[in-house]
Amino acid sequence: MYNERSFIMAEEQVPRVQDDLYGHVNGAWQRTATIDPDRVSAGVSTDLDKLVEKELLADLKDALAKAPDKPKDNFQKAAVLFGKALDFDQRDREGMGPIQPRLSKIQSIKTLADFNQNLPYLIQKGYNLPFVPYVGTNMHDATRYQVMFSSPETILPDVTMYADPTQKQQLLPVWEKMARLLLAQSPLSPADQETYVQDALTFDSRIAAHHMNHEEAAVDDNFDNPVAWDIALTKFAGVAIGAGIQPLLPSMPKTVNILDLKYFNHFSDTFNADTFWEWQHWAYVNELTDHAQYLSRDLRKIGTMYQQALTGQQELTPPERFAYNVANHYFDEPIGVFYGKKYFGPQAKADVTHMVEDLIATYKQQIHANTWLSDSTKAMAVKKLDTMVIKMGYPEKARPLYDRISIDKETPLATTLDTIAEVSQQYRFARLNNPVDRSEWNMPAQLVNASYDPSANDITFPAAILQAPFYDVNASRAANLGGAGATIGHEISHAFDNNGAMYDEHGNKKNWWQPADFAAFKKYTAAMIAQFDGIPYAGGKINGKLVVSENIADNAGLNAALQILHAEDAPQSDFQEYFINYARTWRTKIRPEFERVILKTDVHAPALLRTNVPVPNFPEWYAAFGVKPSDRMFRPADKRVVIW
Ligand SMILES: [Zn+2]
């Protein structure tokens, strides 16, 4: 019998599909699957990650064996970085040595005047500051870059967790313990060590007091505050921000975007002459926690304590995977180009590109057939689809940034990583006045994921996700539509989710909606929020507002791929296969500690709900499996929501 929340999880060993689609497909696996002690999740995505990792580990080792001491080729540079990250013996010999100069630098800054004088250096070298400068695509003119300022990260991953005594009391003591153990290996006296920990916590709570939470950050409007440069200056009371960023920029900006306005409206409360020492001690401790995992074996172990508490990961990441993760993080694009060329076949590329074109065409038909949009809004929506750029598999070449990075075998790992971060930042800041490079990819080919970028109106499908069960050249059309098809539809529809709908076909944040159409869209969005809001999960509740953009996309993706099956006159068995494979792609098990964190921070709902909540919105579901009002995954017609 239908009940708002009862279709979520069935108790049976293998529930009937009509009662619990996710459990029917994945329940037996879910009950017996274990998460590797050195991982935080198991399931389809993790298995694909493992496969990619196995392939690339062999390739990196091979390239490392052949690499010269100072490699020129970018994949070889990645391999040498991998080799360096794997050399734990060298790091045991170096101890704290590689970060000592940075710690001394922080200690040499003793006044706000020192701070201002050193600001260009501190920004350039990526020290922990009470603000984070960045250069990214201008939200209102997507052909240009813009300087942006955001707030530093807080210790607890979402600021609402500071108000939750359970999470606060479970997590902050672990962070404190980690900080104390790291400081114990620093040159500070025991009394100073304690002062530094307490000051770091106090300064963190000052940041947290005015920091956006993830629910707020899930709404683009909340981090879009363009202001004239002279207005921005007033937010940085006492800080010589102009002189600080000038050396990195080709010219001074006329406007900037203050991403976290709430934070910057209170900036002078957070950072001033009175709180200066708190900042200094916070920066010192953060320097240690940021770098520890790239130092000795012992420091890596201490430095990952807090991360392990957040995720529940029981064992340290094994050395080879740690080294792979380092190379993959700092050289993701060159590794991706290599991966795509080696592992992504032309047949898959042609076939999936065709599927994307089919889905875009389906969207267009649906927009034309839409009953609640006016013709002018429809015309704009179609324009967005017509101009959408498809990035399939892998880019032909990595951005020129990597040619500027040199990697040698001798320099310590932490120093090398700091230099890469510095060169990357220089690269981003130096192009402030250049036109935006739209050929850049925002995800590398070896990542098991996909994306839509509203500022470029493009969709990216990395090669790594275009594998079974998402996509398989030997699988049926229905299975591939339930996997890759629904994923592709999901990404396309981000162009029309509650955030994407605010950007035009060029990627400019601009309202192209007729007011009545937008009011109707908002009503549908509210219904989508309600469908998820408050569902009990992992000891907490789903925040419908946090996850709404992704749920709109899931629903739309499911619908668009279903329409293709209709257009092809697929038999009922194909619709069944479609839903079954959709559920299979969501097979996931996550450690409970991490589930509690992502409940507050992730704009995606948990996999179980991404399967069972959207599916009963579609008539095809009822027809495919004969779902009746007495079944748990039945939803009365008046409660079903289909936006796109
Ligand atoms: Zn998405």
Whether 163 has a pLDDT exceeding 50, the answer reads yes
Amino acid at 183: L
Topology given in CATH for the domain delimited by 97-295? Neutral endopeptidase; domain 2 (1.10.1380)
CATH architecture, range 21-53+331-399+440-639: 3-Layer(aba) Sandwich (3.40)
The rounded Å distance from CA 487 to ligand 1 centre is 8
The rounded Å distance from CA 67 to ligand 1 centre is 38
Question: Could you tell me if 604 and 617 are in contact, meaning their C-beta atoms sit under 8 angstroms apart?
Answer: no
Structure tokens, 89: 């013996």
Amino acid at 600: K
Whether 452 has a pLDDT exceeding 90, the answer reads yes
Q: Which residue has the tokens 């009470």?
A: 130
Structure tokens, 185: 């290996």
Amino acid at 68: P
pLDDT in tens, 15-67: 999 999 999 999 999 999 999 999 999 999 999 999 999 999 999 999 999 99
Whether 4 has a pLDDT exceeding 90, the answer reads no
- 21-53+331-399+440-639 shares its CATH topology with 97-295: no
Residues 6+ away with beta carbon under 8 Å from 437: 399, 431
The rounded Å distance from CA 39 to ligand 1 centre is 23
Residue spans per domain, the chain: 21-53+331-399+440-639, 97-295
Question: Could you tell me if 597 and 164 are in contact, meaning their C-beta atoms sit under 8 angstroms apart?
Answer: no
Pick from 547, 537, 515: which is nearest to 608 by CA? Answer: 537
Q: What is the pLDDT of residue 13?
A: 74
Q: How far apart are CA 301 and CA 308, in angstroms?
A: 10
Whether 518 has a pLDDT exceeding 90, the answer reads yes
The rounded Å distance from CA 552 to ligand 1 centre is 9
The rounded Å distance from CA 452 to ligand 1 centre is 7
Angle at 266 between CA 263 and CA 270, to 5 degrees: 90
Q: How far apart are CA 631 and CA 6, in angstroms?
A: 10
Handedness of CA 84, 99, 91, 176 (dihedral sign): negative
Q: How far apart are CA 294 and CA 206, in angstroms?
A: 28
pLDDT in tens, 543-583: 999 999 999 999 999 999 999 999 999 999 999 999 999 99
The rounded Å distance from CA 499 to ligand 1 centre is 11
pLDDT-derived band at 349, boundaries 50, 70, 90: confident
Q: How far apart are CA 617 and CA 639, in angstroms?
A: 8
Instruction: Work out the percent of the chain whose per-residue pLDDT is above 90.
Output: 95
Q: How far apart are CA 148 and CA 528, in angstroms?
A: 32
Whether 6 has a pLDDT exceeding 60, the answer reads no
Could you give the count of Cα atoms lying within 13 Å of 495 in the half-sphere of its Cβ? 32
Helix residue ranges per DSSP H, 370-439: 375-387, 413-430
End-to-end CA distance of the chain: 28
In this prediction, residues 345-363 reach a mean pLDDT of: 91
pLDDT-derived band at 10, boundaries 50, 70, 90: low
The rounded Å distance from CA 489 to ligand 1 centre is 10
The rounded Å distance from CA 451 to ligand 1 centre is 6
Q: Which residues does the annotation mark as catalytic?
A: 491, 554
pLDDT in tens, 255-294: 999 999 999 999 999 999 999 999 999 999 999 999 999 9
CB crowding 174-193: b at 16 or more within 10 Å, else e: ebbebbbbbbebbebeeeeb
Q: How far apart are CA 532 and CA 464, in angstroms?
A: 30
Question: Could you tell me if 92 and 296 are in contact, meaning their C-beta atoms sit under 8 angstroms apart?
Answer: yes
Structure tokens, 586: 């969501």
The mean predicted confidence, pLDDT, of the chain is 95
Question: Could you tell me if 637 and 9 are in contact, meaning their C-beta atoms sit under 8 angstroms apart?
Answer: no
The rounded Å distance from CA 406 to ligand 1 centre is 35
Q: How far apart are CA 531 and CA 643, in angstroms?
A: 13
Q: How far apart are CA 587 and CA 469, in angstroms?
A: 10
Length of the chain: 644
Which H helix or E strand runs over 389? strand 389-393
Report which DSSP code applies to 304.
T
Give the relative orientation of helices 346-369 and 486-493 as an angle to the nearest 10 degrees: 50
Q: What is the pLDDT of residue 1?
A: 42
Residues 6+ away with beta carbon under 8 Å from 312: 40, 591, 592, 593, 594
The rounded Å distance from CA 550 to ligand 1 centre is 5
pLDDT in tens, 96-154: 999 999 999 999 999 999 999 999 999 999 999 999 999 999 999 999 999 999 999 99
